[in-house]
Amino acid sequence: MVRFIDYRYVRLLSCMLAFGSFGLHVNAQSTYQPYSYHFYQKLNSELYHLDTRYHTAVKPMIIDNTLRLRYDSLMQIGVRERSSWWGRKLYNEHLVDIKKDDHTFYADFLPDFQIGRDFAGDGRTTWLNTRGAQAGLTVGDRFSLYVNIFENQAMFPGYLDDYITRTTVTPGQGYGKTVSETGKKDWMYTTANVSYTVNDYLNVTLAYDKNFIGDGYRSMLLSDVSSNYTALKLTGKIGNVQYLSMWAYMLDPMHPRSSDYWVRLGDNWKWGAFQYLDWNVNNRLSVGLFQSVVWGARNAAGRRGFDFNYLNPIIVLRPVELTNTSSPDKIHLGLNTKYKVLKNMAVYGQFLLGEFTASEFFGGEGHVNNKWGAQLGFRGYDAFGIKNLNFLGEFNTARPYTYTHFDPVSNYSNYGEALAHPWGANFREFVGILNYSYKRFDFSFQGTWGQFGTDPDSITNYGKDIFKPYDTHLRVYGNYIGQGIKNNLLYADGRVSYLLNPKYNLRVEAGGVYRRHSVPEQGKHHQTGMLTLGLRASFRNFYYDF
């Protein structure tokens, strides 16, 4: 069945590429830029300026002529004429850098070497040993290919070590295994992205990658928290309207394939269909509508493959399923908005609806079927008139049992991690981030404080764990955010880096992390206080603030 579906994807992609031969000509080269919050915030002065009208919610972005000037300036930070080959490769260029009239190619070695010490926790020495490589190809002004691969070993701080040991998942990077009694972890990580710009109105992308929808640090709709997954994306743009339709194939290690005999059959799989319609009403206001459908490869009736009914890319495809408690699939509807209140600042928000019963939603009695998440934030650039001082403030919350399903195979997750917020559900959170760049130096500070409710045992379900079926809830009425055993989490992260080569973000970086997780009812708390130093490269987003 999987092989059959893959061929269908290939045929669909081939049809789209063939169709593109009749399209309009694109004048500027398109470049894939992996999503990293700390790099993308450097585009704020273009993306969120009052005089521009960009579609800012869908990431990663294909850098085209609209952002080319700002992007190229970031790729030239600190670059100057150098006579030696070593000097050019270390500071100015890709390791392999070929530029011809009809194509370009680059390749790099990507180190990520860090060493640190946890002074507030168990006193362990932490380290990361990552050897990676990337390559990128463009042909003409329409086609681009990007791949990377990383081989990793690490000793993580205690709370991350416990998480990886328990779940066998390295956050955002797939399968992670413990390879020694000391707790050393070992894993691999790869990304691949093929993009074809058919014409001025359509881009087709086939990728093993992550996706993000929103204008904040978090996304309550679709985030890059989980590991990579395979997806086919069609992104169309006409005038002030952008439309994304995506079909995804994801893995589910939480429900492995079974056999009557002891045979290693690998992880189970699941499918997802996602649509997002974004309308730039004017230079200030943007409104976006979101829909997702997730279904497992099996249910009570047996095995399922890809449901071709979901190839229909129409937004709000089957909203009737929101009130159909016997549906085997999980649908979410969402709203994403942005408003530029000042020349250098925008407010943004999201609202996700997992289930809706009007009388209970407005009744205020905490009905279990009131499953929703919300976000409200602001972000901007050049704060207090200081050039390149970017800022963000954000509040996120989700009611108990949001993102869950009566069949946990169809919950809102990929590879054992949430597809939205890393805390799952039943939480409230505040995030503040400052970034400042001066020549080759980058400074960043992030502070997070939140509360969430956990379960006292594996049987009880207060609604935070999205991998438990929601029909095991404790009560129908009286549910509230933070119910269960109350947890408080404080997380602070500060970094200073010196950029060596902007082409692949090679830098020397020093950082500090403080994390305090407390459970007042039980008189428990755990602290992590780390200092780190490393030589790092690449543009990647990983979330360790949970």
Q: Write a three-state SS string for 189-214.
A: EEEEEEEEEEECCEEEEEEEECCEEC
Closest residue by Cα to residue 33 from 129, 138, 113, 103: 138
Helix (H) or strand (E) holding 12: helix 2-20
Whats the size of the chain, residue-wise?
546
Both structure tokens of 208: 């093993």
Chain centroid, CA 274 distance in Å: 14
- Is residue 115 within 8 Å of residue 126, measured between CB atoms? yes
User: Which residue type is seen at 367?
Assistant: H
**HSE-up of residue 372 (Cα within 13 Å, Cβ side):** 18
Respond yes or no on whether the N-terminal peptide bond of residue 256 is cis (omega within 30° of 0): no
How many C-beta atoms lie closer than 10 Å to residue 312's C-beta? 11
Residue with tokens 């040991």: 165
**What does each C-alpha distance from 470 to 401, 404, 476 come to in angstroms?**
6, 6, 11
Half-sphere exposure of 66 (CA within 13 A, CB side): 13
CA atoms of 8 and 233, how far apart (whole Å)? 14
The CA R_g of the chain, rounded to the nearest whole Å, is: 23
pLDDT value of position 355: 81
Residue 227: φ, ψ to 5°:
-70, 170
pLDDT at 498: 98
Both tokens of residue 93? Answer: 């260029």
- What is the end-to-end Cα distance of the chain in Å, rounded? 37
Phi, psi torsion values for 527, nearest 5 degrees = -120, 145
Tell me, what amino acid is at 112?
A: D
Token couple for 30: 């398109």
SS (H, E, C) 136-189: EEEECCCEEEEEEEEEEEEECCHHHHHHHHHHCEECCCEECEECCCCCCEEEEE
Within 8 A by CB and 6+ apart from 239, the residues are: none
Look at the alpha carbons of 293, 295, 300, 303 in this order and tell me if their dihedral is positive or negative.
positive
Residue whose entry in the numeric block shows the structure tokens 């030589």 = 535
Among 270, 319, 263, CA closest to 296: 270
Q: What does the alpha-carbon distance between residue 392 and residue 381 come to, in Å, rounded to a whole number?
A: 9
Dihedral sign for Cα atoms in the order 56, 60, 62, 63: positive
Distance of alpha carbon 349 from alpha carbon 478, whole angstroms: 27
Whole-angstrom CA distances from 331 to 116, 219, 292, 407, 414 are 43, 17, 6, 13, 15
Asked whether 223 and 60 are in contact (CB, 8 A), the reply is no
Two tokens, residue 144: 């681009």
Torsion sign over Cα 294, 298, 299, 303:
positive
Q: Strand, coil or helix: what is 300?
A: coil
Give phi and psi for 365, each to the nearest 5. Answer: -110, 15
Q: Residue 392's Cα: distance from chain center in Å?
A: 17
Query: Which residue in 314, 321, 349, 313 sits closest to 334, CA to CA?
Result: 349
Beta bridge partners of 445: 434, 494
546 residues of the chain, pLDDT tens digit each = 333 334 343 344 444 433 333 333 334 567 889 999 999 999 999 999 999 999 999 999 988 777 889 999 999 999 999 989 999 999 999 999 999 988 999 999 999 999 999 999 888 999 999 999 999 999 988 899 999 999 999 999 999 999 999 999 999 999 988 887 888 999 999 999 999 989 888 999 999 999 999 999 999 999 999 999 999 999 999 999 999 999 999 998 877 765 544 455 667 889 999 999 999 999 999 999 999 999 887 655 556 777 777 777 666 555 544 444 555 677 899 999 999 999 999 999 999 998 877 777 777 789 999 999 999 999 999 999 999 999 999 999 999 999 998 888 889 999 999 999 999 999 999 999 999 999 999 999 999 999 999 999 999 999 999 999 988 999 999 999 999 999 999 999 999 999 999 999 999 999 999 999 999 998 899 999 999 999 999 999 999 999
The string of pLDDT tens digits covering residues 272-293 is: 999 999 999 999 999 999 999 9
